[in-house]
Amino acid sequence: MQRHFGEVEAVRRVDLEVSQGEIYGFLGPNGAGKSTTVRMLTTLLKPTAGRATVAGFDVATSAHQVRRRIGVALQDAAIDPLMTGNELLRLQATLHGIGRRAGRVRGAELLERVGLTEAGDRRVGTYSGGMRRRLDLALSLIHEPEVLFLDEPTTGLDPSSRQNLWSEVRRLNAEGTTVFLTTQYLEEADELAHRVGIIDGGLIVREGTPIALKEAVGSPTLRLDVLATDLDEARTVMAAFGEARPAREGRIAIGLENGANRLAEVVRALDERNIEVLTMELDAPSLDDVFADATGRRLEGADEQGEAGP
């Protein structure tokens, strides 16, 4: 699929296939094209070129059939603050053709499932961010969708709410729902997704299982902080141990073959040159390394935020 907005190429080329029962993580920084892709897949935006099928139906020519089969929780928990949780669930149930009694039963089940039974008769405007997200999820599940789209479902949530939402996504998937999840959080993609597609600048730059992607990056990353006066010499020393990796200014990062086994060797080499080491970290490859390997940049929101080039 492609999507242009005038001269702007929001999605340059996305080719992907999500299998039934899979959690597919769509990982990328802000502005990478994640939400535009989701809007196309959920029939909210027409692709400029290309074709997409969801649950067996073309999103452009059979949009109505697609809408009947998908659940959508968009980026900003689009919920009417003047309504109560119960009222919104009944509304959503009716929009999907579920009768009054069945809708009420299903709504109560879902509220219980997301831990909002007691808040069901309160106006949504009084809910916390986490409660709104959980209600948003419940609304998207009212008609038992075959495919669930979650667009950055945990953005802005505290760690506890994030864990709760992850548990619920896992449970839904275990019950058979195919999940398409966009996120800018590495940990989220790593924890939840069976397969990950990394998007940057409207292109999928890597795709695979998190384990395979990390293994493909290869060696662990050794990160080193030294005095500014020793920086050039330290770079020369480190170059002998592995290739440079993207790191923030003033820091050195290399891919260290055999990781921990060679750490003592690195320390000795630096010591021989009288280079004072301020901090030293050895990390196994992460999805951030995968992203950096593919794009030469670190992902926004990752631990090493602000890193840019070796």
Partner 1 sequence: MTVGIEPHRTASADLHPVRHLDAFVVMARRSVIGFFRQPASWIFGAAFPLLIAAVSASAFARATSLQDFPDSRSFLQFLLAGTILQGTLFGSINASTDLALDIENGFMDRLLASPVSRVSILVSRLAGAATYGAGVTLFYVVVFRLFGAPVEGGIPGIVVMVVLAMVMAIGVGGYGAAVGLRTGSAEAVGNSFPLLFILLFISSAFFPVELMSGAYRRVAELNPITYVIDACRHQVLEGFSLGEAVVGLLVAVAFAASTIAFALLQLRRKLADVS
Rank residues 24 and 185 by Cβ distance to partner 1 and give the closer one: 24
Which residues would be at the binding site for partner 1 (CB under 8 A)? 1-2, 13-21, 24, 37, 41-46, 49-56, 59-60, 63-64, 66-70, 72, 74-76, 78-83, 87, 90-92, 94-99, 123, 139, 143-144, 146-147, 176-178, 180
Closer residue to partner 1, CB minimum distance, 92 or 154: 92
Shortest distance, position 135 Cβ to partner 1, whole Å: 12
Longest Cα–Cα distance in the chain? 78
CB of 107 to partner 1, least distance (A): 13
**Integer angstrom CA distances of residue 36 from 81, 91, 268:** 25, 26, 50
Angle between helices 287-295 and 210-217 (to 10 degrees): 60
The answer to whether residues 181 and 26 touch, using CB atoms and an 8 Å cutoff, is: yes
Min. distance of Cβ 240 from partner 1 in angstroms?
A: 44
Cα angle 126, 36, 174 (rounded to 5 degrees) comes to: 65
Q: Give me the least distance between CB of 171 and partner 1, in Å please.
A: 14
Bridge partners of 251, per DSSP, are 225
Give whichever of 74 and 224 is closer to partner 1, judged by the CB atom.
74
As a whole number of angstroms, the distance between CA 82 and CA 103 comes to 20
The CA distance from 195 to 255, in Å, is: 24
**CA–CA dist 13, 250 (Å, integer):** 35
> Which tokens go with 91?
């509304």
The residue type at 137: L
Give burial (CB, 10 Å; 0-12/13-18/19+) of 63.
middle
Strand 23-27 with 8-11, pairing: unpaired
Smallest separation (angstroms) from partner 1 to the CB of 184: 18
99 versus 309: smaller Cβ distance to partner 1: 99
Residue number with CB closer to partner 1 (65 or 161): 65
User: At its nearest, how many Å lie between partner 1 and the CB of residue 87?
Assistant: 7
Closer residue to partner 1 (CB): 41 or 189: 41
Q: How far is the CB of 92 from partner 1 (least distance, A)?
A: 7
The residue among 102 and 267 lying less far from partner 1, judged by its C-beta, is: 102
Q: Which residues contact 183 (CB under 8 A, 6 or more apart)?
A: 25, 26, 27, 152, 153, 154, 189
Nearer to partner 1, 147 or 299 (CB): 147
Q: Which helix (H) or strand (E) holds 11?
A: strand 8-11
